[in-house]
Amino acid sequence: MTARILVVDDIPANVKLLEARLLAEYFDVLTADNGYAALDLCEKTHVDVILLDVMMPGIDGFEVCERLKANSRTSHIPVVMVTALDQPSDRVRGLKAGADDFLTKPVNDLQLISRVKSLVRLKTLTDELRIRTEAARNMGVEDMLRTGDGRIDEIAQVLLVDGRANSQERIIKALKPVAAVTASSDPQAALFEAAENAFDLVIVNANFDDYDPLRLCSQLRSLERTRFIPILLVTDSGDEPMIIRALDLGVNDYLVRPIDPNELVARTLTQIRRKRYNDRLRTSVRESIELAVTDGLTGLHNRRYLDSHLKVLFNRAQARGRPLSICITDIDRFKQVNDTYGHDAGDDVIREFATRIRSTVRGADLACRYGGEEFVVVMPDTAADAAALIAERLRGMIEHRPFALKADGSFLDVTASMGIATLTPGTDTPEQLLKQADRALYQAKSAGRNRVVAAAA
Ligand SMILES: [Mg+2]
């Protein structure tokens, strides 16, 4: 795993120490001896994880962290606060400033490396999603990482897996202001629970007498439905081997008993915020894919989608010896609509035309806006005679009811011409099929419009 780590500390010896340990693990290391230099580096170069000293002259670590998280160009970089004071209040303040984790000086070697590795893994995933999202220019998601007061609008759903009733009670009470907690003392039942419901976080308390809590963590990571749910492990102080194994398994964070309620709340909110950020990135990637294959005006599929999907339907029909028909339809004298009533009226007609196509085609048919006032309907498992009936029905749907124009509430008579073609043994490619239908459409236009013409078999 190659990643670039920025070490920020005002004391050169501290910088050297962390640098040496990171270099030994083949990380690429940058250093800064004050907050301003750190902010500057993060703006100008690529940084994967920041190890940030808290006590520094000038601006302290908390403020550096706040500034990084408030800047959309740097808010996604994970920050690990390095503090000399093992004060819960310090930790909570750091987490509120948006820190993703913290380490206490003197820094424990194994903790340092496993935390950095786990954050690098997380950042790699986030980066990937960010790149895809940026393509869609859908960057409203950045606001999610701006931590501010850590407020989360929607109440979070937390699954608590805890072997003891009294500690369940304490955790539920502490989280009450920020999350609805479902508690379970049966790890296997909890796994099903997690797979079946949309939780924002799973807290696993390692206090079972005869069950290894890491088994549940690893099962959560391997199930498709639960692998993105953050896991927070609660363990005994000193149980370092378990913590290290847990982080290697993909557990996102841990707490040591006795639990400080403030820290529990802060860590819970950090995990939930991060999950929601990644969820939104994922959604926007999915939406941008949908956007790429959807026609903005009509909501039908666009030409790009048709080109790729027709090939699939065509090959499948050929391989199975099933019929396949397509219909190309074009609104008659559409240019006159635009010229006489304006482009908004033209858009009204296109939209209504698409609505009527949608209400006429059957479930398995694929309707697309092919461009301008031209539409294509692909009809799988449909022979020529059935395709002709469907096209004729659509033609009637267009002709018999005038189209409403939004601007002045007037109505317009619209007709359409249609050409259909059906896959025959002589048709080798989807392009040929489209061409046949296009020629039939041309004949329909030449013969006086407002009619259906089938390509000669
Ligand atoms: Mg310092």
Q: Calculate how far, in angstroms, residue 36's C-alpha sits from the geometric centre of ligand 1.
A: 14
d(CA 400, CA 439): 26
Gap between the Cα atoms of 366 and 311, Å rounded: 12
Distance 34 CA to ligand 1 centre (A): 9
| Residue 237 alpha carbon to ligand 1 centre in Å | 26
Cα dihedral across residues 113, 114, 115, 119: positive or negative: positive
User: What is the DSSP annotation of 209-243?
Assistant: SS--HHHHHHHHHHSTTTTTS-EEEEEETT-HHHH
Q: Are strands 28-32 and 79-83 parallel, antiparallel or unpaired?
A: unpaired
Q: Which one, of 35, 40, 122, lies nearest residue 73 by Cα? A: 40
pLDDT at 1: 55
HSE-up (13 A, CA, CB side) for residue 340: 8
| Helix residue spans in 293-342 (DSSP H) | 303-320, 334-341
Best CA proximity match to 311, nearest among 296, 324, 327: 324
Q: What is the pLDDT along the chain (457 residues), one digit of tens a residue?
A: 579 999 999 999 999 999 999 999 889 999 999 999 999 999 999 999 999 999 999 999 999 999 999 998 898 899 999 987 666 677 778 878 888 888 888 888 877 887 888 788 778 777 776 666 665 444 344 444 444 434 446 789 999 999 999 999 999 999 998 899 999 999 999 999 999 999 999 999 999 999 999 999 999 998 888 988 999 999 988 788 898 889 888 898 888 898 988 889 888 888 888 888 788 777 877 777 777 788 989 999 999 889 888 988 899 899 888 899 999 999 999 999 999 999 999 999 999 999 999 999 988 899 999 999 999 999 999 999 999 999 999 999 999 999 999 888 899 999 999 999 999 888 889 999 999 999 999 999 999 999 999 998 6
* Distance (Å) from CA 17 to ligand 1 centroid: 14
Domain boundaries, the chain: 4-107, 156-286, 294-454
Q: How many residues does the structure list for the chain?
A: 457
Strand ranges (DSSP E) for 20-59? 28-32, 49-53
**For residue 357, what are the CA distances in angstroms to 132, 329, 369, 375, 378?**
33, 10, 10, 9, 12
43 catalytic residue (yes or no): no
CATH tag, 294-454: 3.30.70.270
Angle at CA of residue 388, ends 383 and 394, nearest 5°: 130
156-286 is classed in which CATH architecture? 3-Layer(aba) Sandwich (3.40)
Report CA(126)–ligand 1 centroid distance (Å): 30
Instruction: Given the residues 19, 66, 352, 373, select the one marked as catalytic.
Output: 373
Domains 4-107 and 156-286 in one fold: yes
CA 251 from chain centre, in angstroms, equals 21
CA of 21 to the centre of ligand 1 (A): 18
Backbone angles phi, psi at 339, to 5 degrees: -70, -40
296 alpha carbon – ligand 1 mean position (Å): 55
Please give all residues whose CB falls under 5 A of ion ligand 1, grouped by chain where several chains appear: 10, 53, 55-56
Kindly report the CATH number that applies to the domain delimited by 4-107.
Answer: 3.40.50.2300
Show the CA angle centred on residue 73, arms to residues 67 and 77, nearest 5°: 75
Residue 208 alpha carbon to ligand 1 centre in Å: 40
pTM above 0.85, yes or no: no
